[in-house]
Amino acid sequence: MLDNDSFIPSPTVSAIHLGPLTVHFYALCIMAGIAVAVWLGSRRWADRGGDAGQVLDICLWAVPAGIVGGRIYHVVTDPELYFVPGANPWNAFAIWDGGLGIWGAIALGCFGAWIGCRRSNVSLIAFLDAVAPGVLFAQALGRWGNWFNNELYGDPTTLPWKLQIHQMDYATGSALTNASGAPVVLGYFQPTFLYESLWCVAVGFLILYLDRRFSLGAGSVFALYVAGYTAGRFAFELMRSDYANLILGLRVNTWVAALIFLAGAAGFVLLFRRGRSVALPDGARIDAGVDADEQPPSSGLRPKQESAPREHADAE
């Protein structure tokens, strides 16, 4: 049984050195998340009538764009970390030290996906619906990069699952030590990185279930991803105590999460009754005389008919 003396330990190293090469665990977590998202997205894409290999082709555009967008958002919303006297502006490019804003990653990642979908001549909406659950699992894995970096924690707490945080030296990739050689402990805090990771997994599985059970309308899967993720993110931002810029007493990301949640929820309500998204380009003809945008709409949250013929087996 947990007691007040128990805690979740944090690593004292955030990177390993292999000769001249430094491998950051933050980057490894992101790479693992990308691999999971591509794998699951490929299976869901095939279920929508696409070629599974197209997901990787599109992700070659979406992933780099998303990483750049995430970094830009972080730097723009926290400029004092890089562009004030005494700060090193070149650290704005040190993505391996952490610092990716999910909102920028989604925005520019969608732009990259649009380019990839145009080049592959497939539907962007169907692609976003296919990869949405995998993106949540990728975010869940990415949060463990914050654990390695000893960041993304909440208020001080005495809860049995409190998170131990060390004072890290990101230049060396290890915790600072005291005179006796022991790692310097800053304190014990709410493990908001863990809360968000578990939330992403839960929302991801919920979307998989709902989409399999009810054939959610085109665009509504991605909208549900946006609404589901931001609902949790809003709550977790209220718990966090690490440095952030404030607007009217709330963190910038708290406001952004609230606004994007409203947009995602509205999008889901408007879109879930549409026909299920397919991999064909928007407006393409699916069969004789029937336009992709004119397919019979689903009746909302109505279970699939098991007897209905299907060209592709569920592979979620």
CA distance 173 to 177: 13
As a whole number, mean pLDDT of residues 91-116 equals: 87
Q: Is 302 within the bounds of a domain?
A: no
Please report, for residues 118, 124, 234, the alpha-carbon distance to residue 57 in angstroms, rounded to integers and kept in the order given. 11, 13, 33
DSSP state of 62: H
Q: Is 131 within the bounds of a domain?
A: yes
Which tokens sit at 157? 């707490």
pLDDT at 293 over 90: no
Q: What is the pLDDT of residues 108-138, one digit of tens each?
A: 999 999 999 999 999 999 999 999 999 999 9
Q: What's the pLDDT score for residue 105?
A: 93
Q: Is 298 within the bounds of a domain?
A: no
pLDDT greater at residue 207 or residue 91: 207
Q: Is 70 within the bounds of a domain?
A: yes
Q: Give the ranges where 149-219 is alpha helix by DSSP (H).
A: 192-214
Q: Is 101 within the bounds of a domain?
A: yes
Number of Cβ within a 10 Å radius of residue 11? 16
DSSP state of 314: -
Of 61, 60, 43, the residue nearest 52 (C-alpha) = 43
Phi-psi region of 310 (alpha: psi -120 to 50; beta: other; left: phi over 0): beta
Number of Cβ within a 10 Å radius of residue 265? 17
Range of the domain at 210: 29-155+190-289
Residue 286 three-state SS:
strand
Which tokens sit at 260? 């994007």
Of 49, 258, 45, the residue nearest 134 (C-alpha) = 45
CA distance 12 to 165: 9
Q: Identify the band that residue 303 occupies on the pLDDT scale cut at 50, 70 and 90.
A: very low
Number of Cβ within a 10 Å radius of residue 256? 20
Q: What is the pLDDT of residues 24-34, one digit of tens each?
A: 898 999 999 99
pLDDT greater at residue 2 or residue 89: 89
Please report, for residues 64, 123, 130, 133, 201, the alpha-carbon distance to residue 224 in angstroms, rounded to integers and kept in the order given. 24, 18, 12, 10, 14
Average pLDDT, the chain: 85
As a whole number, mean pLDDT of residues 75-97 equals: 82
pLDDT greater at residue 55 or residue 173: 55
DSSP E strands, the chain: 15-18, 21-24, 163-166, 168-169, 174-175, 185-189, 246-247, 250-251, 285-287, 290-291
Q: What is the pLDDT of residues 191-245, one digit of tens each?
A: 999 999 999 999 999 999 999 999 899 999 999 999 999 999 999 988 887 667 7
CA distance 223 to 177: 46
Q: Is 296 within the bounds of a domain?
A: no
Q: Identify the band that residue 282 occupies on the pLDDT scale cut at 50, 70 and 90.
A: low
As a whole number, mean pLDDT of residues 176-181 equals: 90
**Count: domains in the chain:** 1
Q: Identify the band that residue 284 occupies on the pLDDT scale cut at 50, 70 and 90.
A: low
Kindly report which listed range (80-94, 215-229, 268-282, 290-304) carries the lowest average pLDDT score: 290-304
Q: If residue 42 lies in a helix (H) or strand (E), which one and from where to where?
A: helix 25-47
Query: Would you say 39 and 134 are in contact if contact means Cβ atoms under 8 Å apart?
Result: yes
Q: Is 212 within the bounds of a domain?
A: yes
Q: Is 282 within the bounds of a domain?
A: yes
